[in-house]
Amino acid sequence: MGFLFDSFEGWKKYSDTNKVSLVQAVIDYEIEQKGRTEERIWEGLGQAWEVMKDAVQTGLVEDMTSRSGMINNGAKKVYNHKVTVLSKEFQNLISRALAAKEVNSCMGRIVAAPTAGASGIMPGVLYTLQEIHDVPDKKILEAMLLAAGIVLIMEQKASIAGAVGGCQAETGTAAAMGSGAIVYCLDGDTTQVFNAVAITIQCMLGLVCDPVAGLVEIPCVVRNASAAAIANSSAQIALANVSSVIPVDEVVEAMGEIGSSMETRYKETALGGLAATKTGKAISKRVLIRDIEILPDES
Ligand code: SF4
């Protein structure tokens, strides 16, 4: 097996030629190129799934106030609010994505999927999907492997880091993983999975990385919620056999092209966008002064 995950087309070709599923192709890759045993792969996935669920629950129960004060128990407020915009399921989805990401902003334990900044999306999506559709744990773990295949390709063809490709690369990739996972769990075929990924990325293209005060809090936490919503809307569209028109590999290449032409101030430097607003700068100054004040006096 050469390096398999450099394109979606190549992934499908391997799968068709060897008469294996997309998920089995990821397992083959992990065994052959990472030297892992199949038993260890499932064990690691099971552990990751437990951490994801734990992050959702922690964020909805424990105090989630970040050191900067910018994050202040938003997930719980959303979860318990009596007005539901669409349905209780949608409210749960949004609050769970917020919850797991708030745990990260408050220095708790999360799964970087694919990064810490985007760590609320997969937990919010998978937790809610399992609850609504009674998806067995084994299928959830398979969907996580499928998502791993998606992220391997996106890392190769574009980027998964905000510092390299903007927020489209972080929350956009996580949303693509989530939509592919949803379609897989709801028995979509390869075309539908790839359409879901392509449609999701089309909705996330161009998103800049502009964290206020350089902290992964604002706008990161709310972007996890919107990315979880986009993962679901894209899956809904793809499952109905609506085409992305632009093939998934080309969509990912477009993401890479946009990322490489994005100005540095939109790549996690906290020099542009929301970070450069009047309020963003004032928060940054306050956080910096407070951090200097709590530095140990070495005189
Ligand atoms: S704004 Fe930047 S730091 Fe925040 S989630 Fe997006 S890529 Fe990550």
Of 145-149, 164-168, 212-216, 290-294, the least confident: 290-294
- pLDDT at res. 22: 97
Give me ligand 1 centre to Cα 297, in Å.
33
Which residue has a Cα nearest atom 4 of ligand 1? 220
Q: Is the CB of 171 under 6 A from ligand 1?
A: yes
- pLDDT at res. 4: 78
Q: What is the mean pLDDT of residues 127-135?
A: 98
Give me ligand 1 centre to Cα 269, in Å.
10
Instruction: Kindly give the number of the ligand 1 atom that is closest to the alpha carbon of 211.
Output: 1
Q: String of b and e for 129-160 (b: at least 16 CB within 10 Å)?
A: bbeeeebeeebbbbbbbbbbbbbbbbbebbbb
Q: What is the mean pLDDT of residues 3-18?
A: 92
- pLDDT at res. 2: 61
Give me ligand 1 centre to Cα 186, in Å.
29
What distances in angstroms separate CA 263 from CA 165, 260, 269, one per listed residue? 10, 8, 10
pLDDT of residue 127 exceeding 60, the answer is yes
Give me ligand 1 centre to Cα 53, in Å.
22
